[in-house]
Amino acid sequence: MSLAKPVMRGLLGKRLRFHLPIAFALSLVAAIGFKYGVTEPRKRAYADFYKQYDAVKEFTAMKEAGVFESVRPSGE
């Protein structure tokens, strides 16, 4: 009752032929999922924000609040 010797010759190539396409497919699915699950909604959110963002209005609000040291508020 001796155990059969494991087949070691060509083992790496055999395992790579099996695992490499699977790894490639999973990485492709992950990249596509990240693009459409994270990147595209983020780009849409930024575009929606900057459609109605007024930088001058924000600046005057911060100036009146006294945020800047180099610019005095209008009341002073």
In sequence order, the 6+-apart residues with CB closer than 8 A to the CB of 1 are none
Report pTM: 0.66
Q: Which pLDDT does position 2 carry in this prediction?
A: 85
64, 73 contact by CB (below 8 A): yes
pLDDT at position 29: 98
What is residue 6's predicted lDDT score, i.e. its pLDDT? 84
Please report, for the chain, the start and end positions of each structural domain, with discontinuous segments joined by +.
39-68
Rounded Cα gap, residues 9 and 14, in angstroms: 9
Residue 68 contacts residue 62 (beta carbons within 8 Å): yes
